[in-house]
């Protein structure tokens, strides 16, 4: 809602972060004590794990309530067991999460789109696209100071991967250098 759907598109294939992923990440950090990595605790890393394990849920699946609920149910069986047995943490309720995310679906439904097609069309029409990365190269999962890295590709090539375009379709890339050390953002 709110009219942003005309100007903002949320990729239907984008990974959907669920609250139990943040909880599991925080619990993993907690039991590591002084050896913790220092994650944000938002669940981004576990969502990447879900994607690789082919158990993730995409934004587009919000538009199909039955599919979303079934995947959510399947996810919760494993995560609730893990939270209880390994971390002695409380379980998550299927109906609570489902209701919350159906409200998100209602608000986002006009924005969810096949952004691959939109990007391809813009490139074919020689229109400009401005992309913004999130972290610096030393946080890159492959080229950073492992294991103290983010879960994603922070190098310029990550833009190609994220957009689904080849590197020859990116004509200009700029980097920002900070004059001070920082491990986040």
Q: Which of 51, 84, 120, 127 is catalytic?
A: 51
Cβ contact 149:46 at 8 Å: no
Helix (H, G, I), strand (E, B) or coil at 167: helix
Q: How far apart are CA 157 and CA 170, in angstroms?
A: 9
DSSP 158: H
Q: How far apart are CA 116 and CA 135, in angstroms?
A: 23
Residue 51 falls in the annotated catalytic set:
yes
How many CA atoms, within 13 angstroms, populate the side-chain half-sphere of residue 91? 13
Cβ contact 45:56 at 8 Å: no
If phi > 0 it is left, if psi is from -120 to 50 it is alpha, else beta; for residue 110 that is alpha
| Residues recognised as catalytic | 51
């Amino acid at each position: 809602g709110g009219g942003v759907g005309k100007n903002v598109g949320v990729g239907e294939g984008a990974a959907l972060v669920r609250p139990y992923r943040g909880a599991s990440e925080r619990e993993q950090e907690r039991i590591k004590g002084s050896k913790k990595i220092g994650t944000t605790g938002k669940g981004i890393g576990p969502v990447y794990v879900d994607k690789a394990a082919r158990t993730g849920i995409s934004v587009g699946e919000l538009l199909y309530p039955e599919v979303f609920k079934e995947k959510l149910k399947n996810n919760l069986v494993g995560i609730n067991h893990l939270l209880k047995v390994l971390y002695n943490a409380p379980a998550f309720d299927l109906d609570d999460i489902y209701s919350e995310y159906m409200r998100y679906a209602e608000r986002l439904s006009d924005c969810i789109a096949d952004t691959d097609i939109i990007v391809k069309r813009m490139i074919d029409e020689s229109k400009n696209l401005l992309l913004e990365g999130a972290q610096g190269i030393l946080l890159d999962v492959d080229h950073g100071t492992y294991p103290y890295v983010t879960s994603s590709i922070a190098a310029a090539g990550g833009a190609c991967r994220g957009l689904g375009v080849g590197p020859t379709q990116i004509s200009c890339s700029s980097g920002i250098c900070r004059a001070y050390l920082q491990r986040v953002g």
